[in-house]
Structure 1
């Protein structure tokens, strides 16, 4: 038995290789055609070429140089934009008019000239005083109608008073040597700083935080603050108009003065 087992070939233990591509049985039509000799049976090489897998992405064959040159010659050249068909450019915006406004300037000058030459001068008033009144009324009309900025128109009135010898140079510019005037000017500079930096809003917020339970408390707070600032700024106009007016405006806006129907607290502060 042992010799029989060793001498027997092991055909059952090794599996036969299975072909990956099995050929389908030939159909009846192909068999009949092969029998008749009308069609030749395709060989194995032909079948391998038929069943060759196609690549997913085929490399694009480069276009020959003669074809590229012919395509470039046949394509129309790029057309440049026609300047006549293009829309015309927009005209530049007109600059704002500079200089004096003609109509307000004429009215302001007419007021002064009418008072000086058309209105009879009372006998009790001197000619110098009457000319000063005419210049003053013309300056007031210009400040109302604004043919020029306020500073420019005021200096024009002052220059006219000096040129007509209504006032001497020392008398006309003597007010600029007064310390109170410069104190008022500096206070208005401070007021502009309060507005630009937002310090007025911050001070108003602290007033509302500490004394904002009632309008009376806010009034007391403003009074105490003015008393503290008075030794350093003796001018009442400077303190009221330069320092406390921006603060009171901020308090009024916080209390509702900017509404259509203002609240009572905001109107009481003003």
Structure 2
């Protein structure tokens, strides 16, 4: 099953993307894809509604904007340097445990929304990542049971302002949290449609040039371990997002970095999950 949300920013409605490509409005049956939806068995109810032929659902025109496939989560937990080649290009050593940081949830954006370069930004960078959405409350979860905590997977781009992140002291969060720095979508794909989250190709293109080209199987710390590990330090709530890291090829890792500038077109994709497409614009 593939969950979508559509409509103007902040006013999105829930829907589903059917196998034949039709987008169907589910707002007559479900309020939104949020913490309450996942916690109260919403996925199961949605699956039954779809199985019954989406009664009462109307088709959403293709020109209608897609928003992020779930409502803004309580937190976005990111894993740094989780691919060996990226850890090497990033520098500062190879982690022996997952490096965790947060993105402010106000960075939340749709899969085709513009990325706004903030004031003072000179080193805007991209990172395609597999996003894992939590389906039920998870605290001190055993690694064996961790997969049962997943509501689905999606494509995420962890946009970063490297000067804010690396040159201004403190934690990485200040370079990760600008508005529009967290696009996700185009849909949330439930686990029954993802045979192996560690067997997916993921890529990023800038102005049609492939910059990143990797496999989720190259993660040093895999999805079940990450869920179990993170749940030791904080309670993961239904709808929370874990961004699992990025392969090599980011602008910062180049001998002569080619950071993003207004007018650039960025495409991020993961096999079987879909693509994000953003245009970089300057903050007015």
- The question of a shared fold, defined as TM-score above 0.5 by the shorter chain, is answered with no
TM-score, normalised to structure 2's length? Answer: 0.18
TM-score, normalised to structure 1's length? Answer: 0.19
The structure where helix makes up a greater share of residues is 1
Greater CA radius of gyration, 1 or 2?
Answer: 1
